[in-house]
Structure 1
Amino acid sequence: MRLPRRPVTGGKKETSYPTRDSQVVASVTIGTRVMVAIVVVAGVALGVSGLFVWLLGQNSISSDVNAQLERSRDRFKALVEQGVDPDTGAPFSEPSQAVYAYIRQSVLGPDEAELGFVGSELTLLPPTRAALTPEDDQELISHLESHVTGDKVVIEDIRTSQARYRVMVAPTRTASGSAAGAALVHVVNLDTAHADLRRTMVMYMASAVFTVALVAALAWFAVERLLRPIGQLREATEAIGENDLTSRVPVRGRDDLTTLAVAINWMLDRVQRSVEAQRDLLDDVGHELRTPITVVRGHLELLDPDDAEDVAQTRELAIDEVDRMGTLVNDLLLLADVSETGVISPQQVDVSVLTQQVFEKAQGLGDRRWQLEEVAGICCEMDPTRITQAWLQLAANAVKYSDPGSRVALGSRVDGASLLMWVRDEGIGIAEEDLPLVRRRFGRTAAAVQKASGTGLGLSIVDSIAVAHHGCLEIRSFQGLGSLFTLRLPLHTVADHATSPRKDTD
């Protein structure tokens, strides 16, 4: 028999997810990106530090040169004001004598020189040959001519084609003005003064490059070790396939990656349970639906359309099988629904009120001697809708597999840290060797098949509801004497009361 195809519903687009083969493998790993980030950060940090060192060095040299020129200016001014040659003790008769006396006693560094001008002519040089010879730089001498004949002390920078200088020009002249004026010129070569700083920065850059290389080498081993769990996560996820859901990520250490590995393993456990449950459900559905479909198909193929009686019998049989399939599908959907943790909505429930409600509803299931044995006066956390559904399913099974007028009892009580809710009957019972069978989906004993029709999913639904509440379904039964089915749930209470025994009520 061909089943009709499900019509395609419009307005909803199917989402397509890329397969593993369709994924573009990244050419740059996260380890490489972390390495590049570390190298870039280290390089930028060393570069910024070097820039600050360079700027601070430049400022320090400029400050030292200025202080040096100012000291030279002050000493020359003091010598001129004293007006006495410190070597001979004779007073200066000409301004040029003061300039020469100052130059003769000065101690200069390798990047310094002092010159003496009389009028605008360079006439006085240091007594010994200095390392710096500014007199050979004609551009500098030409620039100084405009300052040496003036009246003010000048400190300024002068750049020529040969070098960059900072000069101090201190002119002096007699009070009467009878002699020609003279001027002291103190010259500092800034290029030479900054040479040590440049050499220091070259060494700094070389050490910075070496440091970055060392950081990169050390970081490579550290990053590879730190990111090893990520590689293991990738290998574990790649190893998971449709036929293998057992791969897990190794858990080592106590860091965030370890927490991530634990979370992924927990997720894989849930996925494995879900997939295995889905496979079992599909196998059971395929097995159970195959029989009614085969029966209906066989009778339709043998149907004589001209025989009204045969048509009526086949129609009745087909409707009965379709109804059975509908019941089966509804039970399967219910079982799949209660197997999902998300459908449980726990809330605080008064167990005594719930017990009374279930007992009243159960009395409408069949002609039995209904009895309420005990009522637990306690408030417990549970999903009252699902618990009622499971409890009534047990009561319906008790009615189905017992004789009219027989005793069926319900009750609830606290047992240590558990809440017990049970149904007791005087039905056909279950042999001890058949107890594992009735817990399985579609599992039914031979006596149950003879006694009443069913799908064999009732106890699976009850067990799933109990498991969703972190509890279990307990079964005690004696063949031919009756059964006791008990829901045992962990006790989460907000108010405890004594369990109140009830007399049996018919």
Structure 2
Amino acid sequence: MNASHARRQHAAWSTVRRSPYVTVRTRLLTAVVLLGALTVLIAGAAAYALQMQSTDERIDRSLRRAVEVLHIVADDGPTPETAADAEFGSVEQLLNEAVRRHGLTENQGVIALLDGVPRWLTSDLVMSSIEVLHLEDDDELIELLGTVSSDAPVELRTVETTTAQYRLVAVPVTITGDPRSGLFVVAVDRSAEIARLSSTYLTYATVALGSLLVITVVAWFVVGRLLSPVRLLRDTARRITESDLSERITVSGTDDLSDLAATVNAMLDRLENAFGSQRELLDDVGHELRTPLTIVRGHLELMNPRDVEDVLAVQALALDELDRMHRLVDDLMTLATADRPDFVRLAPTDIGRLTDDVLDKARGLGERHWQITARADVVLLVDSQRITQAWLQLIANAVSVSAPGTRIRIGSELRAGRVRLWVHDQGPGVPVEEEQRIFERFHRGRADRAGRRSEGAGLGLPIVAAIAAAHRGRVRLERWPAHAGPGAVFLLDLPAVHIVHTPRVERAELVEHR
């Protein structure tokens, strides 16, 4: 069953790998084109609907004006050229005057019917070069208008025939004393107006498609240029191997993606340094552990098991080497946990009392002339155990490079919002060429004046640096003035967090205790 499940899972992964590959460039380009097309479509549809509404309103206004003109003609009466009377005496006379005096616009026509028969037509008028509508040519429309009764209401209506769609107004005309009935009709070819509007928006659609094509081409190059750091990142990531982290991304520009490329380069720098440090650490640890193992193995091979003294000597040597290996492992564990949040546990600590306690513990490290040169009587938020560990490590280094009877000074002070803890010895000092390397792992300084080398694996100062960094501080070597004699000053420089000054009585007790 497990084999079957593995085969199915392998098949699923194979399917995923064979799935179509869509690049980010294609996705962004598709989104840009779709968004542009949607914008053009919405804008065009909204503009078309508004223009359609505006066209219908314009047609209706022109038809209402035609009705008003008819009323004006009826009120004003015939002109002196057409009749001598002040009023129209017949329907025929009124319709003739109304048609003659009506001004037509493009795609508009006028016709007057007398007893259902077309009598006055658009073609009877003298027109300009505009294209007017000849209603008399549409037999269906004439037949429909012939059915309009003399008492029909005057209203705007839409009439559709096989020829066109009309928007028209039909006004029945009657005059007292004249038994005949007339019909004054003004119509607009709405289908022609809509066709003209549609032609305009067909041009708009053509221009919009051309614009989308231009946008697509421009976006293809712009998106490609914007995503070039991502492609470089992909190609660089493919070229990076476990043994070669030297590849970097070429950064050009000041945008977010260029910043991403710079950030990835910085990450690769850190990874390369971390892997280099890891390899160096493994090499150094292998060397440091191989040495005591070789010593123990060599002595065991040469040991005479029948010689009790030889056995005891080899036993003592083996235990000593095992203790050294144990210290090395402890130091490595300390450095390995230095980046953990719980590496330091901050608590209010009396720095003055801590200075005295460290001096009391340092007296057992060697026969030296011990002295406290300054004491900071403040309470700070630090990890007293880690600070004690780092301070004693600096003191142990001072003891290892100084001669018995020489002076070793320690002290603490508060200055400019920082607390400074130091160790000053009268040893040979640190050569200038080693100042930059003394805080490296497994680095051990050159022999002192007595020809001795400091004991240990070279992890003491790196541990001190890790403790200082965990307190957001640093450890450094202070250059001792030449006129003051030989020696070196190692300084722990830490931020003074949550400073609480101790009462004067406690300071007096500290002085008396000292």
The alignment's TM-score, normalised by the length of structure 1, stands at: 0.76
Out of 32, 40, 56, the position equivalent to 2:34 is 40
- Structure 1 residue 355, shift from structure 2 partner: 2.4
1:238–1:418 Cα change, 3 Å: farther
Contact 2:110–2:121 (CA under 8 A) maintained in structure 1:
yes
1:272–1:339 Cα change, 3 Å: farther
Q: Which moved more, 1:98-107 or 1:434-443?
A: 434-443
1:254-284 alpha-carbon deviations (Å, 9 max, x no partner): 4434443443343333323322221211111
SS of corresponding position for 1:170: strand
Q: Which residue number corresponds to residue 53 of structure 2? A: 59
1:47–1:339 Cα change, 3 Å: closer
Once residues 118 and 25 of structure 1 are traced to their aligned partners in structure 2, the CA distance between those partners, rounded to angstroms, is: 79
Once residues 237 and 205 of structure 1 are traced to their aligned partners in structure 2, the CA distance between those partners, rounded to angstroms, is: 45
Q: Which moved more, 1:205-214 or 1:331-340?
A: 331-340
Contact 1:474–1:488 (CA under 8 A) maintained in structure 2:
no
Q: Which moved more, 1:465-474 or 1:134-143?
A: 465-474
Q: Which residue number corresponds to residue 173 of structure 2? A: 172
- Structure 1 residue 193, shift from structure 2 partner: 2.0
1:345-393 alpha-carbon deviations (Å, 9 max, x no partner): 7899765444234223434556654322222467888765543321111
Does structure 1 residue 111 correspond to structure 2 residue 112? no
- Structure 1 residue 57, shift from structure 2 partner: 1.5
1:143-169 alpha-carbon deviations (Å, 9 max, x no partner): 323324334213200112221111111
Matches within 5 A, 1:43-442: 43-84=37-78, 87-90=82-85, 91-128=87-124, 131-176=132-177, 179-296=179-296, 319-338=319-338, 343=343, 351-363=351-363, 365=365, 369-376=369-376, 384-399=384-399, 407-413=407-413, 420-425=420-425, 432=431, 440-442=440-442
1:82–1:389 Cα change, 3 Å: same
Once residues 407 and 201 of structure 1 are traced to their aligned partners in structure 2, the CA distance between those partners, rounded to angstroms, is: 98
Q: Which moved more, 1:398-407 or 1:330-339?
A: 398-407
Q: Which residue number corresponds to residue 493 of structure 2? A: 489
- Structure 1 residue 76, shift from structure 2 partner: 1.3
Instruction: In structure 1, give the amino acid aligned to 2:290.
Output: R
Q: Which moved more, 1:466-475 or 1:161-170?
A: 466-475
1:377–1:107 Cα change, 3 Å: same
Once residues 184 and 90 of structure 2 are traced to their aligned partners in structure 1, the CA distance between those partners, rounded to angstroms, is: 13
Q: Which residue number corresponds to residue 10 of structure 1? A: none
Once residues 287 and 92 of structure 1 are traced to their aligned partners in structure 2, the CA distance between those partners, rounded to angstroms, is: 129
Instruction: In structure 2, give the amino acid aligned to 1:48.
Output: I
Once residues 23 and 403 of structure 1 are traced to their aligned partners in structure 2, the CA distance between those partners, rounded to angstroms, is: 70
Instruction: In structure 1, give the amino acid aligned to 2:58.
Output: D
Number of residue equivalences: 478
Contact 2:155–2:169 (CA under 8 A) maintained in structure 1:
yes
Contact 2:121–2:134 (CA under 8 A) maintained in structure 1:
no
SS of corresponding position for 1:242: coil
Once residues 274 and 142 of structure 1 are traced to their aligned partners in structure 2, the CA distance between those partners, rounded to angstroms, is: 97
- Structure 1 residue 68, shift from structure 2 partner: 0.9
Contact 2:122–2:135 (CA under 8 A) maintained in structure 1:
no
- Structure 1 residue 223, shift from structure 2 partner: 3.4
Contact 2:109–2:188 (CA under 8 A) maintained in structure 1:
yes
Once residues 148 and 314 of structure 1 are traced to their aligned partners in structure 2, the CA distance between those partners, rounded to angstroms, is: 137
SS of corresponding position for 2:55: helix
Once residues 375 and 24 of structure 1 are traced to their aligned partners in structure 2, the CA distance between those partners, rounded to angstroms, is: 72
Q: Which residue number corresponds to residue 474 of structure 1? A: 477
> Which sections of structure 2, spanning at least 5 residues, go unmatched?
1-15, 126-130, 502-506
1:276-327 alpha-carbon deviations (Å, 9 max, x no partner): 2212111111111123334555667788999999887776665554433222
- Structure 1 residue 75, shift from structure 2 partner: 1.5
1:8-33 alpha-carbon deviations (Å, 9 max, x no partner): xxxxxxxxxxxxxx989984433333
1:259–1:127 Cα change, 3 Å: closer
Contact 1:85–1:92 (CA under 8 A) maintained in structure 2:
no
Once residues 159 and 258 of structure 2 are traced to their aligned partners in structure 1, the CA distance between those partners, rounded to angstroms, is: 67
- Structure 1 residue 483, shift from structure 2 partner: 4.9
Contact 2:447–2:454 (CA under 8 A) maintained in structure 1:
no
SS of corresponding position for 1:63: helix
Residue identity over aligned pairs, in percent, reads 34
Q: Which residue number corresponds to residue 15 of structure 1? A: none
Once residues 409 and 236 of structure 1 are traced to their aligned partners in structure 2, the CA distance between those partners, rounded to angstroms, is: 54
Q: Which moved more, 1:196-205 or 1:101-110?
A: 101-110
Contact 1:348–1:379 (CA under 8 A) maintained in structure 2:
yes
SS of corresponding position for 1:84: coil
Once residues 26 and 410 of structure 1 are traced to their aligned partners in structure 2, the CA distance between those partners, rounded to angstroms, is: 70
1:342–1:148 Cα change, 3 Å: farther
SS of corresponding position for 2:223: helix
Once residues 228 and 258 of structure 2 are traced to their aligned partners in structure 1, the CA distance between those partners, rounded to angstroms, is: 11
Q: Which residue number corresponds to residue 18 of structure 1? A: none
Q: Which residue number corresponds to residue 456 of structure 1? A: 458
1:169-228 alpha-carbon deviations (Å, 9 max, x no partner): 10022335x512111111211111223212211221122122222333333444344444
Contact 1:169–1:186 (CA under 8 A) maintained in structure 2:
yes
- Structure 1 residue 54, shift from structure 2 partner: 1.1
SS of corresponding position for 1:194: helix
Once residues 283 and 374 of structure 1 are traced to their aligned partners in structure 2, the CA distance between those partners, rounded to angstroms, is: 42
- Structure 1 residue 55, shift from structure 2 partner: 1.4
RMSD: 4.5
1:131–1:79 Cα change, 3 Å: closer
1:401–1:194 Cα change, 3 Å: closer
Once residues 146 and 102 of structure 2 are traced to their aligned partners in structure 1, the CA distance between those partners, rounded to angstroms, is: 23
SS of corresponding position for 1:338: coil
SS of corresponding position for 1:329: helix
Once residues 139 and 233 of structure 2 are traced to their aligned partners in structure 1, the CA distance between those partners, rounded to angstroms, is: 76
1:377–1:310 Cα change, 3 Å: closer
